[in-house]
Each structure stands twice: as C-alpha cells, then as structure tokens.
Chains A and B, each alone.
Chain A
Amino acid sequence: MYQVGTLVKELSDKYGRERKSLMPILQEIVHKHNYLTDEAMVEVAKELDISAAEVYGTASFYTFLDTTLKGKYVIRVCKTITCSMKGKTDIIHILEDILKIKVGETTPDRQFSLVETNCIGWCHKAPAILINDMPYTELTPEKVTDIIKGYMRK
C-alpha cells in the first residue's frame, strides 16, 4: 500500500491547493493507483481545505475517477452504436473468458478490471477498447487475446 498522505502532499505541492487543483490531483492519484480510496479522498480534502463530501461529490461525477476498487489495468470496452454494430459483444465474451470475470468485476489478483464505456472516438476503427490510457482498435477475438496476454506477461 502506498503512503497516501505523502503522495497527496506531493501532488498538492505540484498542482497547488486551490479548488482548480482538485481534478489534476485526483486524476494523478487514479493514474498512479488505479482508483481513489476513501482515505485518499479524505487526505485531498484536508490538503485543499474543503470537505470530503466535496471531493467525493466531484470524483463520483466523473466515470474515469473511480471510487471503488479497480485493477492495475482497467479495460474499457466501447459499447456505443458503431462498436456495438461491429462486434463489441464478441470482444466482451472473449475478455470475460480470458480474465474469468464479468463486466464490472476485477480479477482476484487485482491486475484487470473490465468495464463498458461510452463512445471513445474510434468509430471508424470499431470495435475499440481502452486499456488505461491506450486505445486498441479494429479488434477481433484473436487480436484482443494477444493484447491481453501481452499485459499478463508485464
């Protein structure tokens, strides 16, 4: 477990302690540690001198600022119309098979989380997914299997 207090102080030094600093701080915590723990949100509130409810209220508004446990690699499968037309369901099935989890779940070793997401801007190369920040496009069950196996070896 990381030292949440130290990290939040570092990030507050980097981004400032104003209200406008909140999003960059929360984004970097998620970037480094996959999701926001209650403890992290309380620390941010203390550091910025705002209520923890304000921090939670803001974080919970944004899909990518997860406030529940997420794995090291969050796989977001686009479910919007073009990806849906071009085989999103097959991609979900193969991911569920490989990872042995359902959509919305995290693997017991906390390596992978599988979620669905709205349009990620790759409709011309559907179906597409994001793994953390990286987009993967024009997927087939074979291609997505190779990609996940690559991540498993990391």
Chain B
Amino acid sequence: MKNKGLNKVDLIFEKIDSKEVLEKVYKMTPAGIVQGVLDSGLKGRGGAGFPTGLKWKYTAAEKETVKYVVCNADEGEPGTFKDREILDRVSYKVYGGMLIAGKAIGAQTGIVYLRGEYRYLLPKLLIELDAFNKQIKEIGFDFNIEFRMGSGAYICGEESALFESIEGKRGEPRNKPPYPTTSGVFDKPTSINNVETLVTAMMIMAHGAEKFVQLGTKDSRGSKVFSVSGDTPTPGIFELELGMAVQHFVDEFGDGDTKAVQVGGASGFCVPRKKFTETIIGFEGVPTGGSMKLFNSSRSMYNVLHNYLDFFAEESCGQCTPCRIGCQQLLKGIEKVKKGEVQSTYLNELVKLADTMKIAAKCGLGQSVGNAFKSIVGNFREEIIY
C-alpha cells in the first residue's frame, strides 16, 4: 500500500494570534462552524475517532436551552502524555476550542475535567484562563469555563463515566443510548471532546478546512500529536502527519533493534516487526490516541502483556461481569501458562474470553482489553509460553 511517509508538522503548538481567530469565529454562524469542521474531516483525537463535526452537528440540533462543552483532559492511557504537554504549553488554544464548540452547539458553559495526576498544572491553567476570559469578553463572547478534577481513575476518561464523576458519583459508565449529544453531563446535551481535538478545531478555524484536508489520508485527515516512549533514543512529543507506515515511524524513532510497537496504549494494538511495512498508523490501519511505545529485542512481551493486564484488572470499574472477571482471569491465565500449570492451548481459551469481553463488556475499557491481548498473544505466543 502506498503511504505518505513520515512528515513533521507544527499546528498544535504553532503560535497564533488567538484574538484574531476568535474575532473571525465571532462573526461566523454556528452552522458555518460545524460545516467547517465537517469539511476538515477531523476525527476525535482521544482514540475513539468519532467525527468531531458530526458530534457538534448532533448536539447543535438538540432543542434544550442548557448544553455543555466538556473537555476530556483525563488522559490516562498508558503511554499518552500529549494532552498534559498541550495544556502546559498552549492552554489558550484549548479554551479557544471549547469556546468554538460552545458557539457551534449553543452552549454557554464549558467544563475541563483534568486528571488528578495533573493537578500541579491547575494554578497555572487558572491564571491563563483569566487572561483568556478577559480577551473573549472584549470580543463580546459570553462563555464560562470551569475546572473539575479527577482523582486517579482511568475509567473516567470514558465519556459517560466522566459525566458521572462530574456529577459527584462513582465513575461508572452509563448505558448507551442515550448518547452524550442528547443526554450528557447533568442529563443535558453535551459535546465531549479531547484536548487535542479542541486545539485542532481552533487551528482549522485559523487556517481553513482546505489546508487541513491536504494533510493525511482519506480516512485519517490531518496530523496528530504522538507520545513516543519505550526503547527509543528520542522519547517525547511529536506532531506528525497521519497516514505513515509503522516502518517509517520505527526508522525515525527506533533504536535499531525494535521488535514491536504498541500503538494506542494498553487498549491498543501490538504491531510486530514483520508487519511494520504493511501497517498504516491511522483509522485505516491501527488507530491511536497518540500512544506509541517501542520495544526492542531485550524486552519480554510476556512482561509487557502482564503489565497491561495488571493495569486493566485494577482499573476495571467492576460494574459489569465480563470486564471485572475477564480482566482478572486473563491475568491469572497467562500466569498459569507461564508457570506450566496448564497446557499452552489454554491460551486459545483465553483468546475466546477476550472475544467475549469485546462483545459483552459495557464500555470501551472491557471491549478493548482484547486488542492488546490478542495482538501480543497472536504475534509473540512463544514468549508468553516459555
């Protein structure tokens, strides 16, 4: 398959005159903003990849007078740290994106749900929010942003669990439908967007949808920020055009001995060396919220999988049985195989369990445990057994 190769881009952290962009937005109609984002083809940057324009369109269509924009800053996926960096460096663009979303859907209130682990950023973010408020008041906007803190629960990154948490409850995901666009936080129509998605929306307003469409592929428009870690000489944050093959990525960031890349964190997919060339990073191949972990041949993939399953067993909210029991049993299962207490064919039973979780679990957490499980067991079976 033809792909684009690795191209560095500077959109997210690019310095812009925020007042100029917001003045332009002030004169736009809500429908015009929604159309601009639809035209750009932007998909959510948190990992799930729902088209942002559609989300705004649906929320805008709701007849309620009270609506909310929620910024999901509960970045907890192992290997992801881009949202922290974005908030730290360009919070004015996050606030700007929330304001644009608010105008598009007809909301006067925005809530940033910031993970507890990033609380150290809060004083600085509040000072920057003051400056932002002053600026938008001068333009003539009426929009209020408030902060709510998380307290160390990975599951609260799931949108409906996040709403429950804002409402002061246990962060347990809700049944869907209704979807957030109809009934989100405080049961009001809500557009919940990832930090990076909001910044990207602001940049689309700044440069126009046409310029954004030129980047990326048909299925994965634009660029995105990648969090690079693991066995690499250059860990950190990099904004890259979407549509490159894993091989291009490894050529740039690998240490010369990369045997696998985990794309999308613990809930994502493990790509082994033999599939680097054919696998595209994007919605047509392996989707990612930005987490890219490189493993070289000195690493045991059993340890990697064990670490992920231990993570899920702890972070499962415990509400639905497939996830609560499933995570524990997958973890115990690979331990038994490793110790030789069961035959290696037991792994096949565990794969069936992972498939069942995908169908039966209530939310994205339980449904995606099988991604890492099956791609690691499938590609590194010997390492799990011996």
Q: Which residues of A contact B (CB under 8 A)?
A: 18-24, 26-27, 57-58, 61-65, 79-82, 84-85, 117-126, 130, 133-135
> Is the Cβ of A81 less than 8 Å from the Cβ of B315?
no
If the complex has contacts A20-B168, A118-B315, are A63 and B153 also in contact, measured as CB distance less than 8 A?
yes
If the complex has contacts A62-B151, A82-B229, A130-B117, are A123 and B235 also in contact, measured as CB distance less than 8 A?
yes
> Is the Cβ of A85 less than 8 Å from the Cβ of B230?
yes
> Is the Cβ of A123 less than 8 Å from the Cβ of B79?
yes
Pick from B81, B120, B237, B315: contact of A133, CB under 8 Å = B120
If the complex has contacts A57-B170, A82-B293, A135-B120, are A122 and B153 also in contact, measured as CB distance less than 8 A?
no
> Is the Cβ of A85 less than 8 Å from the Cβ of B299?
yes
> Is the Cβ of A119 less than 8 Å from the Cβ of B230?
no
Q: How far is the CA of A80 from the CA of B168 in the complex (A)?
A: 28
Give chain B interface residues in 91-139, CB to chain A under 8 Å. Answer: 115-120
Identify 30 residue pairs between A and B in the complex whose beta-carbon atoms are under 8 Å apart, listed by A's number. Answer: A22-B168, A22-B169, A23-B165, A23-B168, A26-B151, A27-B116, A27-B149, A27-B151, A61-B317, A63-B152, A64-B152, A79-B307, A80-B307, A81-B304, A82-B293, A84-B307, A118-B78, A118-B311, A119-B76, A119-B80, A119-B154, A121-B84, A123-B81, A123-B235, A124-B227, A124-B229, A124-B235, A133-B119, A133-B120, A135-B120
Q: How far does the Cβ of B290 sit from chain A's closest Cβ, in whole Å?
A: 11
If the complex has contacts A23-B165, A62-B171, A123-B235, are A81 and B308 also in contact, measured as CB distance less than 8 A?
yes
> Is the Cβ of A117 less than 8 Å from the Cβ of B169?
no
Q: How far does the Cβ of A152 sit from chain B's closest Cβ, in whole Å?
A: 21
> Is the Cβ of B81 less than 8 Å from the Cβ of A122?
yes
Q: How far does the Cβ of A82 sit from chain B's closest Cβ, in whole Å?
A: 5
**0/1 interface trace, chain B 250-267, chain A, CB 8 Å (1 if under):** 000000000000000010
**Looking at B79, B80, B148, which has the most chain A CB atoms within 10 Å of its CB?**
B79
Pick from A65, A85, A121, A123: contact of B151, CB under 8 Å = A65
> Is the Cβ of B230 less than 8 Å from the Cβ of A62?
no
If the complex has contacts A80-B307, A119-B76, A119-B77, are A23 and B227 also in contact, measured as CB distance less than 8 A?
no
Q: How far does the Cβ of B152 sit from chain A's closest Cβ, in whole Å?
A: 4
> Is the Cβ of B168 less than 8 Å from the Cβ of A58?
yes
Pick from B81, B165, B303: contact of A124, CB under 8 Å = B81
Q: How far is the CA of A45 from the CA of B31 in the complex (A)?
A: 45
> Is the Cβ of A19 less than 8 Å from the Cβ of B152?
no
The 5 lowest CB-CB distance pairs between A and B, nearest first, are A63-B152, A123-B229, A22-B168, A124-B235, A62-B151
* CB of B10 within 8 Å of the partner chain: no
A-B contact sample (19 more), CB < 8 A, given A23-B166, A81-B293, A82-B78 = A19-B169, A23-B151, A27-B151, A58-B168, A64-B152, A80-B311, A81-B79, A81-B230, A82-B230, A82-B293, A118-B154, A118-B311, A121-B80, A121-B118, A123-B80, A123-B230, A123-B293, A124-B236, A133-B120
